[in-house]
Amino acid sequence: MFSNLLIIFASSLVVIALFQRLRLPPVLGYLCVGMLIGPAAFNWVNRSEELPDLAELGVVFLLFSLGLEFSLSKMLAMRRLVLGLGSLQMLVSALVLGGLLMLLGIPSTPAMLLGAGLALSSTAIVSKELGSLGEIFSSHGQNAIAVLLFQDIMAVLLLTLVPVFAGSSEQLWYWALPLTLGKTVVLFVGLLLASRWLLPRLFHEVAAARSPELFVLLALVIVLLTASLTHLLGLSAALGAFLAGMLLGESHYRHQIEADLRPFRDILLGLFFVSIGMLIDLQLFTSQGLLILALTLGLMLIKGCVVALLLKWRGSDSETAWRSGLALAQGGEFCFALMAQMQLHKLMLGDLGGPLLSATFCSMLLTPLLLRAAPHIAARLHHKSSEETKLEEISALSAGLNNHVVICGYGRVGQAIGRLLNHARQPYIALDNDPVRIQEAAVAEKCVHYGDSRRRELLIAAGLERAKLLVIAVDRTDVALLILKQARRCHSTVPILVRTRDDSRQAELKEAGASEVVPELLESSLMLASQALILLGLSDQQVQVHVDQVRRDRYRLLHGFYPGATDEET
């Protein structure tokens, strides 16, 4: 076991470093490591019973971290997506894929069961990549997460149904379905009670002890205990971890828990992807390469189109529909387990198992690249009609505004600016691409709209040509730079105020057309320094003179930084 881990980690170290240089996603590197060191290639790692269990912990930690991002209130707001879109995706995809397998000569029961397995997507890959790209809370990201959560429940049900259909279980399928759903409800209620009464007191006591070791141990115990209880109930350990994380998502300790568990999550998740890569037989790619290619393309095309068409039918815009479809087009890790169970119970033909496994793996391998190319692919696929309708609505709402302020990004900074503008009775219109934030803000404010501010036509619809000021309050400098360039194409003379974290790209923003750039760290340092001077006995007037001089010199006095061992980004 120890030698296996040494080989896996050493190989991953070399391959991931290479993939970072090539600007490729780390997930692809881990999958390639699994293929190379597995029995189908160099055969450096022997199969062991401990490795799959250890690798599964990576998915458990990933789902727990993801649950921390989704509080209970957010999940309740997404219930229509989880139950509505999730059930429709599973039903339609399973019927289509199962029907095609029946046309290929597979008996009806194995075909439909296998079709349902192929309808599952990869929770681990999609969640990790959406998180890496910062798209978890985008509209297509929430669609993907909602469907994946429903699929995790259905995956457990499918695994329990295999012996039922094989005739080796006395339980009937119409009893297995409500039993699984009932167990999920019991688990949720139990975790809800624990998160309300027990866990806050535990974390308070551990935090009062001021021991980092105790805090990490408590977080690990919660994750592992939740996964164990869920496993004892016959449910997915990853689903239980997600529910536990979701219920802790509203606590004051959420960020500390996430920071403490991140190293465990990343290492174990890499081990999980390596274990998936080890299942693939490379010889099949030479003997049945064309069949695997056809199955891969067919699987991704069918699943992607099903999701996109369902979202269009539910009223979503085309771009979101296609990006959601691209995110869920691959096969999933649960499909590997389902195929293994079917082969064990002699429900699947041996000749078809290898190519289907390879096609599922290939679809997972393409997913990180597909998600990065999704904006360009969706832009080519989606129709302009619904997009133009949305722009026309924003244009109609902003038609009566003149000499107003346009705010791009309505997070904490954007909302603070909006409140001050309201207090000064200055009209404004705000744009943000977080659907949850827009949904909550739209209840109280009619001037907040959903949209990607990097789109020139959206800025025009917001009335930028008539605006008195543009405030770019997004938290990413690269996105702010793209918005700035588009804004200057629309209006070459409008004053543009850009918020940025530090002064590292201040010159680049100024060259792109920013009228003023406000670096948060330098402004906060300047405010602290001014308060220090006042406490040292200087008058308010003297302090104001110093502050004005620093600002006139573009913060030159505050430039320069000596990094320390504990510094990360700041």
Find the radius of gyration of the CA atoms of the chain.
Answer: 27
The first and second tokens of residue 504, run together, are 């590292």
Report pLDDT for 454: 86
Cα gap 19→30, rounded to integer Å: 10
Q: Where are the domains of the chain?
A: 1-47, 49-279+297-382, 391-514, 526-570
Q: Which pLDDT score, from 0 to 100, does residue 1 have?
A: 67
Q: Digits of tens for pLDDT over the chain (570 positions)?
A: 678 888 888 999 999 899 888 877 788 888 888 888 887 788 888 666 666 666 777 778 877 877 777 667 767 777 888 888 999 999 999 999 999 988 888 888 888 888 998 999 988 888 888 887 878 877 788 889 889 888 877 887 777 677 667 665 555 556 666 777 788 788 888 888 887 788 878 888 887 887 888 888 888 888 888 888 888 887 777 777 888 887 777 677 777 887 888 888 788 888 888 888 887 888 888 888 899 999 999 999 999 999 999 998 987 778 888 889 999 999 887 787 788 777 767 776 557 778 888 898 899 889 888 888 888 787 676 554 455 556 667 777 777 788 899 999 988 888 888 888 888 888 899 998 887 787 777 766 778 888 888 888 888 888 898 899 999 998 888 889 999 989 998 888 899 999 888 777 888 888 888 888 888 776 777 778 788 878 888 888 888 887 777 766 655 545 444 454 445 444
Residues near 167 by beta carbon (within 8 Å), at least 6 away in sequence: none
CA distance 62 to 261: 9
Backbone angles phi, psi at 518, to 5 degrees: -110, 105
Burial class (CB in 10 A: 0-12, 13-18, 19+), 499: buried
Q: How far apart are CA 240 and CA 225, in angstroms?
A: 10
CB 115 within 8 A of CB 101: yes
The second-level CATH assignment, the architecture, of 49-279+297-382 is: Up-down Bundle (1.20)
Give 232-291 as a DSSP string. Answer: HTTS-HHHHHHHHHHHHTTSTTHHHHHHHHHHHHHHHHHHHHHHHHTT--THHHHHSHHH
Please report the pLDDT score of residue 166 as a whole number. Answer: 64
pLDDT at 88: 93
H or E element in which residue 472 lies: strand 469-472
Burial class of residue 465 (count of CB atoms within 10 Å of its CB; 0-12, 13-18, 19+)? exposed
If you write DSSP's letter for every residue of 309-368 in order, what string do you get? HHHHHTT--HHHHHHHHHHT-S--HHHHHHHHHHHHTT-S-HHHHHHHHHHHHHHHHHHH
> SS3 for 407?
strand
Task: Give the 3-state secondary structure of residue 411.
Answer: coil
Taking the C-alpha atoms of residue 134 and residue 434, their distance in angstroms, rounded to an integer, is: 11
Provide φ and ψ at 563, rounded to 5°.
-70, 150
Which pLDDT does position 562 carry in this prediction?
Answer: 42
Tokens 């039922």 — which residue?
164
Q: What is the full DSSP assignment across 465-509?
A: GG-SEEEE--S-HHHHHHHHHHHHHH-SSS-EEEEESSSTTHHHH
What pLDDT, on the 0 to 100 scale, is given for residue 472?
Answer: 92
Cα 503 to Cα 509: distance, rounded to the nearest angstrom: 10
Query: Residue 89: its pLDDT value, please?
Result: 93
> Backbone phi, then psi, for 333, in 5-degree steps?
-65, -30
**Model pLDDT, residue 14:** 92
* pLDDT for the residue 364: 87
Residue 555 amino acid letter = Y
Q: What is the DSSP letter of 494?
A: S
Q: What are phi and psi of 463, to 5 degrees?
A: 80, 35
Nearest by Cα to 142 from 75, 236, 87, 222: 75
Let me know if 557 is exposed, middle or buried by CB neighbors in 10 A (0-12, 13-18, 19+).
middle
- In this structure, are residues 242 and 62 in contact, taking their beta carbons and an 8 Å threshold? no
At position 176, the amino acid (one-letter code) is: A
The CATH number of 391-514 is 3.40.50.720
Same fold, 49-279+297-382 and 391-514: no
CA dihedral (365, 371, 377, 381) in degrees, to 10, reads 100
Look up residue 344 and give its DSSP letter: H
Q: pTM (2 decimals)?
A: 0.61
Closest CA to 36 of 15, 52, 54, 20: 15
